[in-house]
Structure 1
Amino acid sequence: MKAGAFEPLKFRPFRSLFGAQLFSDLGNWLDFIALQVIVAYHWRLDETAIAAVIITLGLPWVIIGPFASVFVDRLPKKQMMITCLFLRIVFVVGMFLAPNLYILLIFVFLKGTVSAIYDPARQSAIRFTVPDDYLPEAVTLSQLSVNSMKIIGPALGGALIYLFGTRSPFLFEAAGFFIAILFLLTLPNIGEKEYIAENKKTDDGHYWKELSEGIKHISHTPLLKSSVILSSVAFFIIFLYDGLFVFIAQNLGFTKGNFGLLISAVGMGSVAGSLLMGSWTRWKRKPIHLMSVAFLFSGSLIIIMGLGSMEIVQLPVLAWVMGAFFLGFMSSGESVPYGFILQSETPKQIMGRVSAASASIQTFSMLIAPALGSLLAKWLGASFVLIGAGGATCLLGAFVLSFIVRRINDQKEIHEKRFQA
């Protein structure tokens, strides 16, 4: 009998993997504030430089991750993750010493490259550390780590900058990666030996053939293909308005002193949603249904915020904070089911390639959306962009739900015809 979201932690291999993920995720977000502070305040560069940093962070996931994923599937995951973490320490030290933007961007790209290799390896390793019955809880814990560190990392990074200086988060980030290595050293090589041996038997040396298997698996697996498309479209919509959120907050009555409350509320909501989904796992029977319902509710909240930005809806600041909390809460109804589908619908031997391919599609949509959102905001205004994004999110959820209902009705008709015959 399973006890809840933290039940997978009773398996020692998963404890080692999850401990490493906590410190790895913390490192991913610890330098988020530091990079922006160095570029904007220390070097006094403009928005173009900040955009260059953000694009450089995401680019390896699109152009490097999918091509490296073949080797992720061929090689032992434990050794690969340890190597990636060691290289991340080296590149973070490079970021710490970078004298100008160009050198910084080189190390940011290199760190992003090993991160794009590390994550598919970690995704693959999950299947070797817990029984399949515990996948929903394991995926939920993984998502909980990501969501928690999105809050803790930037906040801790800001505190470290205040206490120890602008570049100090990089040193703490390197220390976090070292602790993650220590966790991975306790990870046993369970289940991989036979799988790697089988891979070697079937390996015909055709790199491009192996590379295409990830995309082919996504396209030939209806549930996985639907979830990847849905999550990619959702990411695109989110990043249309993500960079405009500060301007929306100003229109809602937030000052620079309490703007952080709005962002923190979104993060806390996503953590709460992840915890609930780890304790209540009946959603795993119909994950696409849950994603669609989450789109409807989150889209409605986004529309209301857009109307509030136009002063059509007027609410106190506390009410907007609560709305942001539920927006984050609903985001877990999109991200956790996607993670579960990715794991449950993909064979272990191609997990790296499928994970990297899906991440590449999602990241590409995230990279092109901010520029379009900025152009639309200049043309229509940030409030209209937010309302449009909310409407698109609702339409996405409604379209998928209507498709599901139509498919159920078609199946009923087929069943009735067979029964009558």
Structure 2
Amino acid sequence: MEEAKKIGYRGVLKQKEYMKSTSALVVNRFGDAIDAIASTWIVYELTGNAMWSALIYGMNTLPTVLITPFAGAFVEGRNKKAIMVITDLIRALCVAYVATGYLFGILQAWHLVLTTLMISTVEAFRTPASTAITPMILEKEYYDYGMSLSGALSTVVELIGTGLAAGIIAVIGTSGAIYLDMATFVISAGIIATMNTREEKKAHQKFDAKEYVETLKEGLSYSFRKKAILLLCMIALFLNGILVPLNSLQAPFIKEVLGGGAAALSVMGVSISLSMLAGSVLYPMIRSKVSGKALCVFCGLAIAAFYIGTVACRPLYASELAMYVIFAALTFLLGISAALASAFTSVEMLKVVEEGYLARVGAIFAALTVAVNPIVSFLLTAVTKVMGTATIFLIAGGLAVAATILMLANKSLNEV
């Protein structure tokens, strides 16, 4: 703990290969932030139908859930850097197709479905490769600060990209904005190609079905055998699942409970973004002084406080100023706890998983955490027919308290 505290962010900046990886990530995030705005407009202009938006969203998450666990076994033992470069270039080609098709008026909605599916599929291979390459380019004692720096820079760049998106689209058009996203993928591939990793001298490995199946089985067995991995997966599942009520019921919650409007949505967005940035930056310092169990317990209670507090404070919302102050404070608490919990699971996963299993375990981890979102969303769709948003938030708060008690009683969490 003390050693990590002395290292600090300055030491991470000297980890040249890791900083290349972080730079590629930051460039990608900037392009994605702009693309998110531009693509939304493209879907609306092409279809004017919410069904297509839902379908494209589904195509974006489906490969993560279904393909990533199997992709992790394929990635293991192969050149991760090469996989990252190739997948970035494939993503660039897909985005270029969308931009060109829209520019010349030949793009159709089903083209967007196919390109989205293609991009998400190659990302299913890139994600475990990116996870597995981290120990090759970042020394273990730098994990806390390195992952925190990466997360903080990504958040800042996403905020900048989102803020500039409208202006960029106004200046160079929607197609131009999509082409800019394409350029970020190419730049990312170029940066990654210059990284110096220990795997570069490995010979190309041909695909062997038997060996692949064995590798997949070993990865699954390893994941379910180690208590620390299962525990981190459970924490990540809790974190993703417990935030679904807020993410999916923002508008009705603000209208029914707060009595607010679009301004309250803006307050929430700004407050959560700033708090998640603060959580990412502060994580290494907090982690050096606080045990993993204490950190998880704090995050669980903070999430419970948000859900229960926003409803319990309803009598105070008669004053608009009081409503905004209370809501901003509670969303800030939520954001910083979510950032700390996310950083904890990501960093500890790198620490507890052996390097040879990292791609496979990381892939399974990613698939599980994404899969919980549509499951909880489906349950909420049924629940909202019989109870109001305030009741759902109180139940979510109660579940967060129950999960916190379980974490407090879990002896295995003392070892993480």
Shorter chain as denominator, the TM-score bin is 0.7 to 0.9
How far apart are 1:167 and its partner, in Å?
A: 4.1
How do 1:64-213 residues align onto structure 2 when only pairs under 5 Å count? Answer: 64-96=67-99, 97=101, 99-189=107-197, 191-193=198-200, 196=202, 205-213=210-218
Residue 275 of structure 1 is matched in structure 2 by: 281
Residue 25 of structure 1 is matched in structure 2 by: 29
What's the CA shift string for 1:123-163, capped at 9, x where partnerless?
11110112111111122223324433453443333443344
Residue 371 of structure 1 is matched in structure 2 by: 378
Distance across 1 between alignment mates of 2:392 and 2:200: 51
Distance across 2 between alignment mates of 1:316 and 1:204: 59
How do 1:329-340 residues align onto structure 2 when only pairs under 5 Å count? Answer: 329-340=336-347
How far apart are 1:300 and its partner, in Å?
A: 1.0
Distance across 1 between alignment mates of 2:138 and 2:125: 22
SS of equivalent to 1:328: helix
How do 1:260-409 residues align onto structure 2 when only pairs under 5 Å count? Answer: 260-282=266-288, 286-308=291-313, 311-314=314-317, 315-404=322-411
Residue 55 of structure 2 is matched in structure 1 by: 52
What's the CA shift string for 1:48-86, capped at 9, x where partnerless?
322222221111111111212222112212111111110
Residue 256 of structure 1 is matched in structure 2 by: 262
* CA spacing shift, 1:24–1:182, aligned 2, 3 Å: same
SS of equivalent to 2:9: coil
How far apart are 1:103 and its partner, in Å?
A: 1.4
Distance across 1 between alignment mates of 2:139 and 2:261: 48
Q: TM-score, normalised by structure 2?
A: 0.88
Distance across 2 between alignment mates of 1:391 and 1:139: 31
Distance across 2 between alignment mates of 1:378 and 1:161: 39
Aligned equivalent of 1:11, options 9, 15, 33: 15
Distance across 1 between alignment mates of 2:228 and 2:156: 28
Distance across 2 between alignment mates of 1:373 and 1:207: 38
Task: Determine if contact 1:295/1:397 at 8 Å carries over to the other structure.
Answer: yes
Task: Determine if contact 1:25/1:145 at 8 Å carries over to the other structure.
Answer: no
Aligned equivalent of 1:220, options 210, 222, 225: 225
Task: Determine if contact 1:242/1:370 at 8 Å carries over to the other structure.
Answer: no
Distance across 1 between alignment mates of 2:245 and 2:93: 34
SS of equivalent to 1:74: coil
User: Which residues of structure 2 form unaligned runs of 5+?
Assistant: none
Q: Which amino acid aligns with 2:11?
A: E
Task: Determine if contact 2:304/2:397 at 8 Å carries over to the other structure.
Answer: yes
SS of equivalent to 1:318: helix
How far apart are 1:230 and its partner, in Å?
A: 1.6
How far apart are 1:212 and its partner, in Å?
A: 2.2
Task: Determine if contact 2:155/2:273 at 8 Å carries over to the other structure.
Answer: yes
Q: Which amino acid aligns with 1:184?
A: I
Distance across 2 between alignment mates of 1:150 and 1:363: 20
User: Which residues of structure 1 form unaligned runs of 5+?
Assistant: 412-421
Residue 246 of structure 1 is matched in structure 2 by: 251
Moved beyond 6 Å, runs of 4+? none
How far apart are 1:390 and its partner, in Å?
A: 2.1
Distance across 1 between alignment mates of 2:135 and 2:329: 36
Aligned length: 400
SS of equivalent to 1:75: coil
Distance across 2 between alignment mates of 1:258 and 1:240: 17
How far apart are 1:296 and its partner, in Å?
A: 1.2
* CA spacing shift, 1:107–1:41, aligned 2, 3 Å: same
How far apart are 1:226 and its partner, in Å?
A: 0.4
SS of equivalent to 2:8: coil
Distance across 2 between alignment mates of 1:144 and 1:263: 16
SS of equivalent to 1:105: helix
Distance across 1 between alignment mates of 2:287 and 2:79: 31
Q: Which amino acid aligns with 1:85?
A: D
How far apart are 1:170 and its partner, in Å?
A: 1.6
How far apart are 1:369 and its partner, in Å?
A: 2.0
